[in-house]
Amino acid sequence: MDIISGDFNCIIAGGGTGGHLFPGIAVAKELEKRSDRARILFVVGRNRMEAEILSRYGYEVRSISVEGIKGRGWKKGLGVLLGLPKSFFQSKSILKEFSPAFVFGVGGYSAGPMCLAARLNGIPTAIHEQNSFPGLTNRLLSRLVDRVLISFEESSAHLKGSDIYLTGNPVREELFHSVETRPKSGSQFTVLVVGGSQGAQAINKVFLEALEYLNARGRSINVIHQTGRLDYDRVAEDYKERGLKGEFIPFIQDMASAYNRADIVVGRAGASTVFELAGLGKPSILIPYPYAANQHQEANALSLAREGGAVMIRQQDLTGMYLAELLMKYMDDPTALFEMGLMAKKMGRPDAAKVIVDKLMELKNH
């Protein structure tokens, strides 16, 4: 492991969801291991959740005025385009003040103007693509940046950079603390429901139907349920009206504990979730978000399901009864559940953050 000597500044740009930010945080933690004089600045959009997540980890944060274009309609899309020069000059101002050794884009809209401004100022740049099908920002940036790092081999076909490396997707180190692969004997079966950092309304609704179905058949389970902030009130009311029990909160701060307690995870298939499940060897039922750009969540889920490390259900096929019966299948067959966890773990890349930082250090030292 290369130790970084002297003062060292770097910028990590991107966001929009926790799935973009958490890999960036994992990389930041690895950089800090290599230098006690590293100063890391995150540049994000104007999403309150991003600032809240980063502040919990103690990182400096700057926001720029940038939004996504896709799916916003031509009027809003035009407004976003007209605002790009402002975000570009905001990025230039941040670069001048911070003088980073490199800029690392982790996907999301704010990575675009930040990496472009760095490139035009002669500052080394790299991007990391988490999903199997790259987002628009990274597809464009791959033509400009010095280095492209990818989580899935499949994404290389959609990127134009000549310097592309398969690294996997970094997982936050704290998730590995005290996480067990084998379900705890004698304890009640525990299901973790997590639709990503912002929740998933469709999963919330169907899971409550499944829980009601299980209760009607005398099958009791523990529930840890991340609802997302926007859907929390509706979900809380639904638990009450149906007479159901469970731990339900808008956002789980201590995911290490939640994963540790869970026998199986029900959730979306963002790249961060898929690599966390793989790294921890957690069995899962994945329901890809059907409106994700280019169906990248389905491709993510399939990469794990094909190896036997997860079960994938398309949202259009999802019903409460189907989900409940699937859960009962694994409640009654702990060996199959354990084997699913082992197959998931084979897909993990626990050294992804180290590999990424090695590649970033090569840029810095050129």
Hey, what domains does the chain have and what are their CATH numbers?
8-170+351-365 (3.40.50.2000), 175-346 (3.40.50.2000)
pLDDT of amino acid 181? 47
- Enumerate residue ranges in the chain where pLDDT < 50: 74, 77, 80, 181
Rounded to the nearest 10°, the torsion over CA 102, 59, 225, 231 is: -90
Amino acid at 324: A
Q: What angle do CA 340, 343, 348 make, to 5 degrees?
A: 125
Asked whether 156 and 180 are in contact (CB, 8 A), the reply is no
> Any idea what DSSP says for residue 22?
H
Detail the residues annotated as belonging to a binding site for UDP-N-acetyl-alpha-D-glucosamine.
17-19, 131, 172, 197, 252, 297
To 10 degrees, what angle do helices 201-216 and 320-331 make?
60
pLDDT of amino acid 110? 85
Copy the structure tokens of residue 324: 């409940």
pLDDT of amino acid 122? 95
Copy the structure tokens of residue 173: 């180190």
Asked whether 269 and 287 are in contact (CB, 8 A), the reply is yes
Give phi and psi for 105, each to the nearest 5: -95, 130
pTM of full prediction above 0.85: no
Detail the residues annotated as belonging to a binding site.
17-19, 131, 172, 197, 252, 297
Please tell me the distance from the alpha carbon of residue 236 to that of residue 246, in angstroms, as a whole number: 10
Please tell me the distance from the alpha carbon of residue 353 to that of residue 27, in angstroms, as a whole number: 5
Asked whether 153 and 7 are in contact (CB, 8 A), the reply is no
Asked whether 149 and 165 are in contact (CB, 8 A), the reply is yes
DSSP letter string over 289-322? -TTSGGGHHHHHHHHHHTTTS-EE--GGG--HHH
Closest by Cα among 120, 167, 131 to 147: 167
